[in-house]
Amino acid sequence: MRDFSIDHSALALNTASLGHNLDGHGAGWEPERIIDACAARGFGSIVFWRREIGTRAIAIGERARAAGLSVAGLCRTPFLVGTQAIDKAMVLDEAKASIDMAAGLGAAVLTIVVGGVHPGTKGTAESLKIVADRVAALAPYAAERNVKLALEPLNPVYAGNRSCLTTMRDAVDICDAVDAPNLGIAVDVYHVWWDNDLDTQLQRAGKHRIFGYHLCDWLADTSDVLLDRGMMGDGVADLKALRKSVEGAGYAGPCEVEIFSANTWWKRDPGEVLDVMVDRFRTVC
């Protein structure tokens, strides 16, 4: 395993951790200010959300690289299935727009959150087949633009309306079925920390299909399943064991801190939050 205590250049910020500057959350920092704050603290890369980019993808990407940061990723495609994704042509068009944005930004990876159970079906299996079909339609378009697509399984609590994809096992199954060189998976501690089958599935995925590792912690007595994620070290996820599995399967890329935390971290000064991240990354991850 890499030794982060002496080198935190693998640390990446997912800008969601600073509150998105939406809905009254966050300190109102523009992408440029966030880039500079990360660069000053030795972060190696950054991950943006589409809402922050607007029409400025190329400029923001260049600005990040000029500051010494790589753009590790962009969040995210629209839902590919579920009640918001009934019209296949419309979904694919919007997904292609997100691929275009990732390409403009120079983002290495575009994350896919697949959406919930598709109308007219029950359970998750049928929806996952539709996901595979739609991902297969998008992968070549993304490949032409040098964008990798990362399927991210979410915690099963979201299976109804956000992600019928809940396990790494199902994600690797889709990768196998679609079999595109730029399709892989993203591993998010929040979503998979409980899964004792994870190590086996990451071995199945292999180093060429693990496109991201997202850090936070699961608070034992979490008060909200969307906006109460913990800072690394404050929860019950076994962060060392999870990284051992991810790196054991060959992953050596960025470790992206993604903490949705309306009542704790989003209320703090962004600079302080970034300082805490660096400290925790070097000590408990």
Which residues in this chain contact a copy of itself in the complex, by CB under 8 A?
Answer: 83, 116-117, 122-125, 128, 155-157, 159-161, 164, 166-167, 169-170, 193-197, 218-222, 225, 235-242
| Coil vs helix vs strand at 29 | coil
CA distance 70 to 153: 24
Q: Which is nearer to a copy of itself, 34 or 187 (CB)?
A: 187
Closest CA relative to residue 20, chosen from 242, 181, 226, 200: 226
* CB-nearer residue toward a copy of itself: 96 or 169: 169
Which residue in 94, 51, 48 sits closest to 74, CA to CA? 48
Smallest separation, CB 131 to a copy of itself (Å): 13
Query: Bridge partners of 63?
Result: none
Q: How far is the CB of 132 from a copy of itself (least distance, A)?
A: 13
* Residue pair 197/167 in contact by the 8 Å Cβ criterion: yes
| Alpha-carbon span 177 to 18, nearest angstrom | 36
- The one-letter code for the residue type at 76 is R
Which residue lies nearer to a copy of itself by CB, 98 or 166? 166
For the beta carbon of residue 173, count every other beta carbon within 10 angstroms. Answer: 17
CB of 279 to a copy of itself, least distance (A): 18
**Smaller CB separation from a copy of itself, 109 or 189:** 189
Closer residue to a copy of itself (CB): 34 or 81: 81
For residue 45, the minimal CB distance to a copy of itself (Å) is 26
Question: Cβ neighbours of residue 203 under 8 Å, at least 6 residues apart?
Answer: 248, 249
- Minimum distance from CB of 166 to a copy of itself (Å)? 5
In the complex, least distance from residue 143 CB atom to a copy of itself, rounded to whole angstroms: 28
Beta-carbon contacts of residue 152 (< 8 Å; ≥ 6 apart):
76, 111, 112, 113, 163, 165, 171, 185, 186, 188, 191, 212, 214
Closer residue to a copy of itself (CB): 103 or 159? 159
